[in-house]
Structure 1
């Protein structure tokens, strides 16, 4: 039987582990993101995500070990959109040995709960088109493909 999983807001003390998770996200995306700079890169200002009132960064832990992360940030929607603000989800990461157990869905549902408390009714996220497992997981939560971003080097 698996040890219970707790989902809680991240704290500044969690940053060293979250930095490892961030590198896990980057490593997973490098094969499908040919526009990433080589060498050491980061995506997130983790301290800002943790301390912002406009953001909720959650971690999942079991037996005092962090195993997953995800954040939602309140962002203004374009003037022509139906909603004034929306939630933007990012930094969804689950340690490899815990994948396939629905942990990312638990984290995202907790992010949805926080968004609702903020009066947010629309949530967006970006996912690489070639990341079929992530797309499938997001679709299980009700996400639908929307705008397709395309790129070319000239």
Structure 2
């Protein structure tokens, strides 16, 4: 298994993996709510390749601040996915380590992430790698039309 920064040739496979992580994402598929794109100098995408195909990715950005963090800038794990057949094999941890190393090189002294309430698999995976909950929030909306 090889973990490396994404290349243009990986775009289609990466988008398929992103769709598995965020199946209801609308809008331009190259961007998440965090504005991670292939040409953003304040963000990076790392992919894990196994036997000639992508099996996971980690998207990281630099944010000015993040909930529960004390320093600025902060590395932010925007998205992280490993296909089911490759979970619990170290792929996810290796991807996150690459993202953390990149953030450190950008001057970050802390990493942050988020996890949707009820995503116990994601929460356990984060905690396994040393991430701890800081604040629990629920976002609300109301249509005015």
- State the TM-score bracket (shorter-chain normalisation): 0.7 to 0.9
CA contact (8 A) 1:70 1:89 kept: yes
CA contact (8 A) 1:88 1:123 kept: yes
User: Residue 7 of structure 1 is aligned with which of 3, 11, 14?
Assistant: 3
- Can you list the C-alpha shifts for 1:87-145, whole angstroms capped at 9, x where unaligned? 11122111121122121111001111111111111111110121111111111111110
Displacement of 1:58 after TM fit? 0.2
User: Residue 108 of structure 1 is aligned with which of 91, 96, 103?
Assistant: 96
User: Residue 20 of structure 2 is aligned with which of 20, 24, 28?
Assistant: 24
Residue 19 of structure 2: SS of its match in structure 1? helix
CA contact (8 A) 1:60 1:107 kept: yes
CA RMSD of aligned residues (A): 2.3
User: What's 1:45 paired with?
Assistant: 31
Distance 2:129 2:36 in 1: 27
User: What's 1:133 paired with?
Assistant: 121
Structure 2 residue runs of 5 or longer lacking an equivalent are none
Residue 127 of structure 1: SS of its match in structure 2? coil
CA contact (8 A) 2:46 2:57 kept: yes
TM-score by length of 2: 0.83
Higher helix share: 1
Pair 148,105 (structure 1): closer, same or farther in 2 beyond 3 Å: same
User: What's 1:33 paired with?
Assistant: none
Pair 64,74 (structure 1): closer, same or farther in 2 beyond 3 Å: same
User: What's 2:131 paired with?
Assistant: 143
- Can you list the C-alpha shifts for 1:20-79, whole angstroms capped at 9, x where unaligned? 11110123xx6xxxxx7xxx656642896222221110000012211100111011127x
Give the paired residue count: 138
Displacement of 1:84 after TM fit? 2.2
